[in-house]
Amino acid sequence: MHHPEGKLIIEKLIPDIASNPMVGMVKDLSLNVILGTPQAAQFGITKEKLESVLEEINKQIEKEIFRFIKKIVQKYSNLIVFFRDLDSSNDLVC
């Protein structure tokens, strides 16, 4: 619940859960433990919903990783070209 995008995903799939005061009591528990509590059924939390939440969060993580890698490639591609050109234009002997 600390990550804003993750919280939005959870809210979308399990409405009003993030604002429930009981969330503070279970925030450090695994999803399997939460699913095994009687309160989970009370709030409509099912295995299928949790799987949907995890699937959406994993998609978001993949997008963030892709954006991060793309930034790194863009940042360092000019440097790579520079060293390649430097190496091919000079006969450096080590």
Per-residue pLDDT of the chain (94 residues; tens, 9 = 90+): 566 777 777 777 777 776 777 777 777 888 888 888 888 888 888 899 889 888 988 998 899 899 999 988 888 887 777 777 777 766 555 5
CA distance 64 to 57: 11
CA angle 1, 22, 48 (to 5 degrees): 65
End-to-end CA distance of the chain: 55
pLDDT score at 92: 54
Is residue 14 within 8 Å of residue 3, measured between CB atoms? no
Q: Which residues fall within 8 angstroms of residue 93, CB to CB, at 6 or more apart?
A: none
pTM for this predicted structure: 0.59
**Domain limits of the chain?**
4-89
